[in-house]
Amino acid sequence: MQIETATVSGHCPHCSHRFSIAQRWTAGGTNDYGGYVLQCLKCNQVFAYHLGRDINDSTVTEGAKVLDSYDNELGNKDEVLARHRLAVN
């Protein structure tokens, strides 16, 4: 199986502090689509970030801390966001 990687950059929606994610997925693998609940390391605010794939093998490398994750196939996004008092969309 071929492993593909990319660096994903984003910004905190509260203070614009930059964070980075080492996104990793395996061609032909499980590739769980979903996202994270992150806490900004600058302002400490919590926010949701939809990563896409693969949330289980990807890691936040700087700028934010992962508090939780949701998996689209499990259908637990609303539950995870509500647990952190984030708006469910």
* pLDDT tens-digit map of 27-38: 766 657 899 999
DSSP per-residue codes, 26-45: ETTS----EEEEEEETTT--
The range of the structural domain enclosing residue 41 comes to 3-83
- The tally of domains found in the chain comes to 1
Give pLDDT, residue 31.
59
Confidence bin at 89 (pLDDT 50/70/90)? low
- Tens digit of each residue's pLDDT (9 = 90 or more) over 44-77: 999 999 998 788 889 999 999 999 999 988 889 9
**What is the pLDDT averaged over residues 15-31?**
85
Is 40 inside a domain boundary?
yes
Q: Is residue 10 part of a domain?
A: yes
Given a cut of 70, whether residue 13 has pLDDT beyond it is yes
Collapse the DSSP code of 6 into the 3-class scheme (helix H, G, I; strand E, B; otherwise coil) and give the result: strand
